[in-house]
Amino acid sequence: MKRVLSGIQPSGQLTLGNYIGAMQNFVKLQETEECYFMVVDLHAITVPQEPAALREQTEAVAALFIAAGIDPAKSSVFVQSHVRAHAELGWMFTTLAYMGELERMTQFKDKSAGKESVGAGLFVYPTLMAADILIYNADLVPVGDDQKQHLELSRDLAHRFNTKYGDYFKVPEPYIPKVGARIMSLDDASKKMSKSNPNPGSFIALLDPPDVVRKKISRATTDSGREVKYDPANKPEVSNLLSIYSHCAGQSIEQIEAKYDGQGYGAFKKDLAEAVVSVLEPLQAKYNEIRSSGAIHDILKQGAERASVVADKTLADAKELMGFLAPKR
C-alpha cells in the first residue's frame, strides 16, 4: 500500500469544489492506500482568525470529512496541531529553504498583494506544508493545480535533506484526477471555486440548504449560445458545470452532452441542481448526526494517536541525522 497525505484548512465554509476536488478522492484512496487526512489549523492562522470561529470550523471540517465518506477505521483523521511533530519538523525545513524560492510562491504573492504588512507565517508556511507531507514519508499527495508549486518545494526539500544528511525522505508524487480536480467559480470560470470569495453566489457550500443550491445554480454564469458541450477553451462556464454534473451524477461528460443535445441551458441547469442536491442532502444529514453525537472528538483523538506514532519516529530520525542531541530516556 502507498501512503497518502492531504489536508484542508478550517477557514470559511467548505465548498462543492473541496468535495469534488479533494474529498471524493480521499474516499476512493482509502480503499487501496494507507491514508492520513488532517484539518490544517496551523496553516489557517497564517492569516488572522477569530478564536471561536477557528474552533468551530476545525470541528466542522473534521465532521464533513466523515460525512463525505472517510472511514476513521480505514484512515487516520486528525487535527494538524494535535500532532506536535508537524510544527517541529516544519521549523527544521524552514532552515533548509531559501528566501528566493519562498518569494516565488504564487499563493504568497497573491495573498500579500496590496497589503502594507504581511505576517511571516504566510511567507514560510510552505515549509510547514513540506513537513506535513514528508513527516509521513507520503508516496502520493492529492493536490489541486494551485498547490503543485508547494509540492515541488516539498520535493526539493526532501532532495536537499537527503543530499546533505543521508537518504531518508521519500520524494512524493502529486495525485491529480483528470476531470474535476479544479472546480471553478459559478460566476467566473477563470477562477477556482473558493470559500474565501466575497460573493456567496460564486460557490456552493457543502452545508447550503437545497433551495439555496438551486438558486445559485440557476444564476450560474453560462457562455453565449445554447449548446451543452465540454469545451474549456471556448465554453469555460458550461464546461465547469458539466464537470460538476459528471461528478455528482456519476455520468460521463459524453453521456450528459448527449442527454441535453439541442435542449439549451435551462433543462440542463435544473437537472444539475437536483444532482448536486442529491449528493449534499445525505452528506448534510450525516454531518448533523456526527456533530450532535459528539463522536468527532473521539475520532480525532484516535486519529492523532495513530498519526503521532509515525510522525514522532520520523522527527526523531530526522533530528538524529541533522545532529541534534537526543534527550536521555
Q: H/E/C letters for each residue in 210-268?
A: HHHHHHHHHCCCCCCCCCCCCECCCEHHHHHHHHHHHHHHCCCHHHHHHHCCCCCHHHH
pLDDT, tens digit, for every residue of 294-314? 999 999 999 999 999 999 999
Lowest mean pLDDT among 7-16, 81-90, 170-179: 170-179
How many residues would you count in the chain?
329
- Assigned C-alpha cell, 252: 460521463
Residue at 277: amino acid letter: V
Cα–Cα distance measured from residue 242 to residue 180, given in angstroms and rounded to the nearest whole number: 9
pTM over 0.85, yes/no:
yes
Cα–Cα distance measured from residue 286 to residue 292, given in angstroms and rounded to the nearest whole number: 10
pLDDT at position 56 is 96
- Assigned C-alpha cell, 265: 441551458
pLDDT at position 225 is 85
Question: What confidence tier does 141 reach under pLDDT thresholds 50, 70, 90?
Answer: confident
98, pLDDT greater than 90: yes
Task: Tell me if 4 sits within 8 A of 139, measured CB to CB.
Answer: yes
Cα–Cα distance measured from residue 239 to residue 247, given in angstroms and rounded to the nearest whole number: 13
Lowest mean pLDDT among 40-49, 119-128, 141-150, 199-208: 141-150
Q: What's the first-to-final CA gap in the chain, in angstroms?
A: 33
Question: What confidence tier does 146 reach under pLDDT thresholds 50, 70, 90?
Answer: low
- Assigned C-alpha cell, 323: 545532529
pLDDT at position 198 is 84
Buried b (16+ CB within 10 A) or exposed e, 80-106: bbbbebbeebbebbbebbeeeebeebe
Task: Tell me if 299 sits within 8 A of 77, measured CB to CB.
Answer: yes
Strand 34-39 to strand 75-79: parallel, antiparallel, or no bridges (unpaired)?
parallel
Please report the DSSP string for 262-285 in residue order. Answer: TT-HHHHHHHHHHHHHHHHHHHHH
Cα–Cα distance measured from residue 35 to residue 51, given in angstroms and rounded to the nearest whole number: 29
Question: What confidence tier does 144 reach under pLDDT thresholds 50, 70, 90?
Answer: low
pLDDT at position 177 is 63
- Cβ atoms within 10 Å of 145's Cβ, excluding its own: 12
Q: Which residue has the higher pLDDT, 146 or 215?
A: 215
285, pLDDT greater than 90: yes
Which residue in 213, 190, 151 sits closest to 13, CA to CA?
213
Q: Which residues are catalytic?
A: 111, 192, 195
pLDDT at position 268 is 94
Cα–Cα distance measured from residue 189 to residue 191, given in angstroms and rounded to the nearest whole number: 5
pLDDT at position 115 is 79
Mean pLDDT on 116-125: 87
Lowest mean pLDDT among 86-90, 180-184, 195-199, 275-279: 180-184
Cα–Cα distance measured from residue 177 to residue 16, given in angstroms and rounded to the nearest whole number: 16
Question: What confidence tier does 178 reach under pLDDT thresholds 50, 70, 90?
Answer: low
| Widest pairwise Cα distance in the chain | 75
Question: 145 in helix, strand or coil?
Answer: helix
pLDDT at position 218 is 95
- Cβ atoms within 10 Å of 248's Cβ, excluding its own: 22
pLDDT at position 262 is 87
